[in-house]
Amino acid sequence: KHGRVKVKTTAQQEEEKRKEREKKLKLYVAARDACFSKRKEGVLDEEALQLTQQMLSSNPDFATLWNYRRELLMHQETVKDKDELQKLYEAELSFLETCLKANPKSYGCWHHRGWVSVRLPQPDWARELKLCDLCLTMDERNFHCWDYRRMVVKMSGVSVEQELDFTYRLIGSNFSNYSSWHYRSTLLPLLHPESPEQNCEYELVQNAFFTDPNDQSAWFYYRWLLGRADREEMISCVYVDRDDERVAVAFSRPVNVSVLLIHNRDNQICVLPPGTISDTSNEHNLTVHWTEKHTHRDCALYTGRTESYCRESATDQELFRSELSVEKTSVLQSELHSCNQLLEMEPLNKWCLLTIILLMRALDPLGYEKETLGHFQTLKEVDSMRSAYYSDLCSKFMIENTILKMEYAEVRVFSISEKSLTTLCHLDQLLLVTHINLSSNKLQRLPPQFAMLQCLEVLEADNNSIENLEGLHNLPKLEEVLLKNNSILKSLQPLASCPRLKRLDLRGNPITQITNIGSELAELLSSVTDLLL
């Protein structure tokens, strides 16, 4: 395949080769030992410089030798005058150029060059930039060179504008210059710390992806340009129940904290003593403090009410939109328009489809739901290698939409069936849900976060591929669990911690084939009166 033919060597040729190798080894060892004995004797002279130069030409990643050479050079600094030193370091730079020509990706060489160029009595930063230009024309992705250039720019005070011009030129001559886009992403915020995106920057990127829609560099940069805000950490929901005398708290991310619960603004307590809130004729004001994040949430339990809650509205918070900065709606709309134009010309371009989906979700997730699903379908066909990933992403978006619809309808029922869901997420938003319908999807498990559904009374999850029920534990109000036609074979243990469970439908699951399973389950789940196998 390589067209190489193995040459058979005679014994004599082998012997010659062996002798040559030995000779080389002797030379190497002699040079090496000479270096180190010189060092030991404190001899830091020109001959040592010669020796190390010799060795480093063939072994450019011998870190110890570079360090020794730096010691030699520093010693020369104490005995030479400025002109001589300038000559010495210029020679060093030439030496390094030859090394770099042979090994443009040698860590040792670049590192040493960085060290040398700051020590020149008269540094020639223009020359260093030229060297970078040269290296980049040979390999514009050589990150050693880019890193070196950044150092040179910093040392020599090249302005941010000049560097932006440089990246502009490179991008202009070849849009597909990912390293240039990357560099630009670090420069732009220096010039515009508040709002990185400007119209001309959008234009630049659009030109790039219109010219070559298959090049991912511009798309990644574009996505970054459209902005992002990190979601605040917060207490998503507080729920109080008089009958069970419980307070449930949902956080926006998994936490390991002890919470401070303050009752009626008086005592600081974490545990409500029995009988505190059970009398419906009393009103109670509760506050949950998350001290680490300096945030809190109040919840008032009114007279005559058996329960109360207070939560962040997903709609108000524009929870699912904060992938992109929301204030710039007009910008997003115009960008969506441009991308749709491109899509007309390139209907199978995956980057375009992905970006459009992103923009639609930022602008109006419910309004664009139908189009989004259509685009996902196309995306899965066009980029079939990642179709499983896209299914997962689509599931996430469908769940987000269902949460929004639930809020608008002001109900506590979460229903999402026949949507090919492969995964569950945002369960922290479902603390108040009483009924959940997940039937006819492609779920394989009910993950641990499912236990956040503290108000859940009915779970319908027929016709999935669920094997794992690890999240179905400690759900105090859970009464009905419908799991017909799934893949459950064992692990029903979590359900034993749900004290109100009355009805359990396991028909069409492999577990029903186990002998005596009926009596086993009856023993495990004593509260269940209606067990369907």
Partner 1 sequence: MAEKESQLDEFEQIYFLRDRHVRFFQRTLQVLPERYASLETTRLTIIFFALSGLDVLDALDVIDRNTMIDWIYSLQVIPTEDESNLSRCGFRGSSHIGIPYSKKGPDVFHPYDSGHVAMTYTGLCSLLILGDDLSRVNKKTCLAGLRALQLEDGSFYAVPEGSENDIRFIYCAASICYILDDWSGMDIQKAIDYIRGSLSYDNGFGQGAGRESHGGWTYCAIASLCLMDRLDEALSQRELNRIRRWCIMRQQSGFHGRPNKPVDTCYSFWVGATLELLDVFQYTNFDKNRSFILSTQDQLVGGFAKWPDSHPDPLHAYLGLCGLSLIGEADLRKVHPALNITQRAFEHLQQLQQTWRDSSNGGCNGQH
**40 is a contact residue toward partner 1 (CB under 8 A):** yes
Shortest distance (Å) from residue 129 CB to partner 1: 18
Q: Identify the three-state secondary structure at position 485.
A: coil
Q: According to CB under 8 A, which one of 5, 11, 200, 385 is a site residue for partner 1?
A: 385
Q: According to CB under 8 A, which one of 89, 221, 320, 414 is a site residue for partner 1?
A: 221
- Inter-axis angle of helices 107-117 and 82-102, to 10 degrees? 160
Shortest distance (Å) from residue 224 CB to partner 1: 4
List the structure tokens of 353: 């489809």
Q: CA–CA separation, 453 vs 285, rounded Å?
A: 23
Q: Closer to partner 1 at the Cβ: 58 or 278? A: 58
Site string for partner 1, 135-154 (x = CB under 8 A): ------x-x--xx--x----
Q: Identify the three-state secondary structure at position 31.
A: helix
Residue among 428, 425, 424, 481 nearest 452 (CA): 428
**186 is a contact residue toward partner 1 (CB under 8 A):** yes
**270 is a contact residue toward partner 1 (CB under 8 A):** no
What single-letter DSSP state applies at residue 148?
A: H
**388 is a contact residue toward partner 1 (CB under 8 A):** yes
Shortest distance (Å) from residue 88 CB to partner 1: 21
Residue among 162, 159, 171, 129 nearest 146 (CA): 129
Shortest distance (Å) from residue 445 CB to partner 1: 12
296 HSE (CA, 13 A, CB side): 12
E-only strand ranges, 216-355: 235-241, 246-251, 260-263, 267-269, 284-290, 295-301, 307-311
Q: According to CB under 8 A, which one of 5, 7, 12, 64 is a site residue for partner 1?
A: 64
**202 is a contact residue toward partner 1 (CB under 8 A):** no
**192 is a contact residue toward partner 1 (CB under 8 A):** no
Q: According to CB under 8 A, which one of 307, 369, 392, 457 is a site residue for partner 1?
A: 392
What b/e sequence results for 524-533 when a residue is b if at least 16 CB atoms lie within 10 Å of its CB, and e otherwise? ebeebeeeee
Q: According to CB under 8 A, which one of 230, 316, 418, 523 is a site residue for partner 1?
A: 230
Site string for partner 1, 422-461 (x = CB under 8 A): ----------------------------------------
Q: According to CB under 8 A, which one of 13, 58, 98, 268 is a site residue for partner 1?
A: 58
Burial of 370 (0-12, 13-18, 19+ CB in 10 A): exposed
Q: Closer to partner 1 at the Cβ: 225 or 469? A: 225
Q: Identify the three-state secondary structure at position 261.
A: strand
Q: Identify the three-state secondary structure at position 445.
A: strand
**473 is a contact residue toward partner 1 (CB under 8 A):** no
DSSP letters spanning 316-349:
TTTTTTTTS-GGGHHHHHHHHHHHHHHHHH-TT-
| Number of C-beta neighbours around residue 475 at 10 A | 25
Which span sits near partner 1 by CB under 8 A: 156-164, 218-226, 363-371, 502-510? 218-226
Q: Closer to partner 1 at the Cβ: 36 or 309? A: 36
Q: CA–CA separation, 55 vs 31, rounded Å?
A: 8
**215 is a contact residue toward partner 1 (CB under 8 A):** yes
The separation between CA 105 and the C-alpha centre of its own chain, rounded to angstroms, equals 28
Q: Closer to partner 1 at the Cβ: 3 or 304? A: 3
Which span sits near partner 1 by CB under 8 A: 30-38, 240-248, 275-283, 485-493? 30-38
What type of residue is 514?
I
Q: According to CB under 8 A, which one of 31, 34, 36, 382 is a site residue for partner 1?
A: 36
Whether 369 and 404 have beta carbons less than 8 Å apart is answered as no
The separation between CA 115 and the C-alpha centre of its own chain, rounded to angstroms, equals 34
Residues that bind partner 1 in the complex, under the rule CB under 8 A:
1-2, 29, 32-33, 36, 39-40, 58-64, 66-68, 107-108, 110-111, 141, 143, 146-147, 150, 176, 178-179, 182, 185-186, 215-217, 220-221, 223-224, 230-231, 253-254, 384-386, 388-389, 392
